[in-house]
A and B are shown apart, each in its own frame.
Chain A
């Protein structure tokens, strides 16, 4: 997927112009009451142009009609342009999906039959070999493979997908580039990730978000109020002994109703989703994007978000009379089979420090880490080496806790924890040797980011499996507001519930199956694309790059979307003041010549004033399309200064700009002799 796309290329604009006309379909137009009203008024004037009979010049009325239709078309064009960008992305996704074939296992040995991907149903198991495209979303149930997911993430570096654990989810349309895996299909045809993504970027599934609905109601309400204001004018005029032509009333109505924001409203929404997509985050609904702007509490996993991915072994601290070399050797042996980055860093440290080469003899029996024992290790003949969290090691060796070595170990591990490190205890045949100091490295610049979030009124909570001492040290170093230590998935869920009960909105990200309940409970749950299918289903956003730090940007994008809407609404309403000053004197000057003094802009003639106001009203829409699509400039800051800034730019600007704009257009209209 193209990461950056210019906004106004010819290949985007041409179809958008065509679509702008297609969107004049009343069934589509009625969804936007303000633009629908504008279209009806334009239609009415078009009819009156043919049959009407008033003192206005036909050329003037013709121009009014043209500009009214243009107002409507600019609106539909903005929407079409916003959609067009998504459509281009959808097309490339379709290519990825086009010819998916599956090797469906028949259940008899390893034999398979070739079927089209569209005929796979939940529970089917397929074989995917090197070079094959994965035919459907699913869970790896056997094997390990490296997979190129560029088709959906745009990232060509392959990723590992393996059975079991948190990296078992695969996506249709991605390619296996080495080894082979068996995949159990987890979605019905047409409902996979790719399908959803296509629908999403195309805007086919687009529904109005709650805030958009509320705004549409407000805009409709304003339209009704202004309709009342304009519809009663003929009565007033008749009292004053005159009459106002329908075309003039129509012009006044259209300039007063909030056409600017109404025309751009759906484009803003589509562009907001689009920005997320180009940021490689897929939101399952617009509601989720809006909620992101409202987030009060951000739960961030320590590892990968606050600290650079992996802890590094930095020291061996022997206890109970064991030598450091003895400890290093045991740690090395216990870690040789440990493929985690931490395990590897222990091996590296032991080799650097003591030049130990150490290779596991063939007879060695590896004890894998399990969530129950939380201890790993190795068995060499009758020697058992265990490595794990201090509590786990003590639990695995009953009676050990009473020894002097254990007391010493506790002191050492406290020291390590207070320094923000993680202690890993090592025992040999039930005797404590000491602890490995695993050091957490806090990411550069993360402290400043948290400072920005605090300014925005967002509280950050670090989630970690570390003990409270370690957690506190890292939390202080990283500058988070709070932390949840020794967190289990249940704790996380509990914390989210508690915050929500206090009226706060919570965002988090996660990847594992055990994160799923919390992801579902959070107001914004960003699932990592590398995560399990369960996590991806539970969250309301998926990050294709699997970068947990992005949660911070997602909040910013949500805020930007809401701000853009607010800014353009304020601008649109503030515009009305100048438009009144253009049209009221023009309209009433024949009834009461004294009202000419209200023509503060000094517009040439009443016709020119009305035409200029309507032209300004129309042209401001395309002029603001770039802003609607890009979103207003956003810098993290507190609500007070943010409001002051936006109110000055869009409120005050909206008050002043049309005075200048209408005057300028009036000069052009006069110069060209249009009215």
Chain B
């Protein structure tokens, strides 16, 4: 480990803490439906949308209505994406003449981009036409991100609602208004600026398919091009992570230099950290938001520490052979160990899934942290919206387990946590281990499943485990090494992604609805304190105990066994 390495990590954390409040305030304006400076220009567009589709943005929806509209919207997008991918061979803007995607592949990819996962079994440059990249994938990147943020808003409202508005039941907002506002006033404007920055840094933005050139050695080479910058911006900001190219952010056309790398990492986390502040504003106590951010940051820095330490230490077997300077396998020399370790933890802590290095090539424990991040439910900052609503589910359970210890029935930010909330939170949290472990176990005992991993032994096991974790967690990063483009994995992982997204969302929205209807209890000296160090520690503990213990056996058989073999000098 180097001072520069830690300097990078600390600078990253410092900048994050600085941007949390301004971004949170901007999001809060959207949450409240307040005017922003952008309304001057975009206000008419927003109203035009509502008029066109006959939506009254002020009409509150109950949680069921909110959920149904959200599901229908996502289902429609799913079908649209599927159709575009299947038919791309017949559609324009296909300079390289790619054929339509096969049924299982299109199914997998359509779900993948609808669920904000962006798991890619294919190589973008070798499979997708420009039309598919722009119309199917990039649009999904925007709308799946907007959906996530809208859902977080809905849950915030559940906590924040004090009493029913005159003459109506208590709702949790209007899905259409939330999605429209988030897309129009946040994602689109930021992405325009962001894409211009990337273009200035050398990222291509063109409708041309490729260039042929002669390399220094005199060989002929074809370089894939396309509308990269525009997709790259939302890929990061919306924690989507689906690369234009197979190499993702390791590719110099996606992520050319140290500055773009830093900005890309920041943009993955920016909305996530902002939402913690927005939550605090929404419940009228910003300390609540800071406490959550503090717990997330503790988990994050600990994770980065382990990965950086392991990667910098490298493989002792190779060290004995005289390879010095840590583990550089699968990393880009222009980023180095610290920036690659940091990126890997950022992208898995959030449900982004973009990679600038190959996680499969990390040391076993270095690669375990990204895996564990995903298994915990990507609640460390997390995907846009999904991170904070996932974390709040843990907060509900933490309050319930420990809240009793102050001699009151548990309450969180003024809302009592009772049987219904506990039931729904447990339901949402149990989905993860069921599908991650179940899918892995199933693949471990079937021929089709066993054909996937590249390696044998515990490392091969890690590859399968990571694949399912990544799908269920809607991360989308690949450990690599897993040949996932088969009907078995395309089908199973597609289902896993759908369950991992919507089987968490629906119970979560039900909690929002149930909380919204509850009386607000003002906090007093006898209330369970949900700010301050004790609470932060408790949150970290609950996330690790509930999340971690479930996966300990699988981690023991994967990365931990792998690591122990490595330090004993065995290479699997």
Contacts and interface: CB of A to CB of B under 8 A. Distances in A.
B71 interface: no
Contacts of A558: 407
Contact of A229 (B422, B457, B538, B551): B551
B433 to A, nearest CB: 5
B442 A584 contact: no
Interface in A526-563: 558-560, 562-563
Contacts of A559: 406-408
B403 interface: yes
A595 B560 contact: yes
B2 interface: no
B246 interface: no
B525 A639 contact: yes
B564 A597 contact: yes
A240 B524 contact: no
Contacts of A643: 402, 405-406, 528-529, 534
Contacts of A503: 414, 519-522
B401 A570 contact: yes
Contact of A562 (B408, B433, B560, B565): B408
A646 B534 CA distance: 11
A522 to B, nearest CB: 16
Given A457-B524, A639-B525, A650-B405, A580 B561 contact: no
Tell me what chain B mostly uses at the interface: helix, strand, loop, or mixed.
helix
Nearest to A212: B419
Contact of B407 (A231, A238, A293): A293
B34 interface: no
A235 B433 contact: no
Contacts of A580: 549, 552
A334 B347 CA distance: 88
Given A294-B408, A294-B409, A502-B522, A217 B422 contact: yes
B486 to A, nearest CB: 18
Given A594-B565, A647-B534, A576 B445 contact: no
B483 interface: no
Nearest to A290: B409
Interface stretch (B213-221, B265-273, B424-432): B424-432
Which residue of B404, B418, B524 has the most chain A CB atoms within 10 A of its CB atom? B404
A639 B526 contact: yes
A221 B417 CA distance: 16
Given A229-B437, A293-B409, A456-B525, A221 B444 contact: no
B557 interface: yes
B151 interface: no
B224 interface: no
B552 A236 contact: no
Nearest to B441: A235
Contacts of A598: 556, 560
A456 B408 CA distance: 11
A442 interface: no
Contacts of B553: 229-230, 232-233, 236, 584, 587-588
Tell me what chain A mostly uses at the interface: helix, strand, loop, or mixed.
helix
A12 interface: no
Interface string B70-93: 000000000000000000000000
A350 B520 CA distance: 56
Interface in A643-664: 643-644, 646-647, 650-651
A136 B522 CA distance: 45
Contacts of B325: none
Interface string B532-566: 10100010010001100111111011001100110
Contacts of B438: 228, 232
A562 B554 contact: no
Interface string A209-220: 011011101101
B423 interface: yes
A225 B438 CA distance: 11
A290 B403 CA distance: 13
A214 B419 contact: yes
A214 B425 CA distance: 11
A574 interface: yes
B390 interface: no
A112 interface: no
Given A210-B418, A235-B442, A594-B561, A221 B433 contact: no
Contacts of B205: none
B475 to A, nearest CB: 20
Interface string A474-508: 00000000000000000000000000001110000
A639 B405 CA distance: 9
Given A563-B404, A570-B401, A576 B522 contact: no
B35 interface: no
B382 interface: no
A62 interface: no
B109 interface: no
Contacts of B406: 559, 563, 566, 639, 642-643, 646
A204 B524 CA distance: 37
A236 B444 contact: yes
Contact of B458 (A240, A502, A562): A240
A225 B538 contact: no
Which residue of A236, A457, A592 has the most chain B CB atoms within 10 A of its CB atom? A236
B527 interface: yes
Contacts of B437: 228-229, 232
Interface in B495-527: 519-522, 524-527
A590 interface: no
Contacts of A240: 457-458, 461, 557, 561
B51 interface: no
Contact of B527 (A229, A457, A651): A457
B405 A235 contact: no
B444 A588 contact: no
A228 B402 contact: no
B400 interface: yes
Given A238-B444, A563-B405, A225 B522 contact: no
B405 A221 contact: no
Which residue of A502, A577, A592 has the most chain B CB atoms within 10 A of its CB atom? A592
Contacts of A234: 441
Contacts of A454: 525
Nearest to A240: B557
A634 interface: yes
A101 to B, nearest CB: 46
A595 B407 contact: no
Nearest to B547: A225
A653 B451 CA distance: 46
B526 A592 contact: no
Contacts of A239: 444-445, 450, 460-461, 464, 557
Nearest to A237: B557
A293 B418 CA distance: 15
A1 B572 CA distance: 73
Contact of B545 (A238, A574, A584, A587): A574
A640 B529 contact: yes
B440 interface: yes
A186 interface: no
What are the 7 A-B residue pairs with the smallest beta carbon separation, nearest first?
A457-B526, A566-B404, A559-B407, A235-B441, A221-B426, A594-B564, A457-B525
Interface of B: 397, 400-409, 414, 417-419, 422-423, 426-427, 429-430, 433-434, 437-438, 440-442, 444-445, 450, 457-458, 460-461, 464, 519-522, 524-529, 532, 534, 538, 541, 545-546, 549-554, 556-557, 560-561, 564-565, 568
28 contacts: A214-B418, A217-B426, A218-B401, A218-B422, A221-B427, A224-B430, A228-B438, A229-B437, A229-B554, A236-B461, A236-B557, A240-B557, A293-B408, A294-B408, A294-B409, A456-B525, A458-B526, A459-B524, A502-B522, A563-B407, A566-B402, A566-B405, A576-B545, A594-B561, A595-B560, A638-B525, A639-B529, A643-B405
Given A221-B422, A457-B527, A562-B408, 10 more contacts: A214-B418, A239-B461, A293-B407, A457-B526, A562-B404, A563-B405, A570-B402, A577-B545, A592-B565, A595-B561
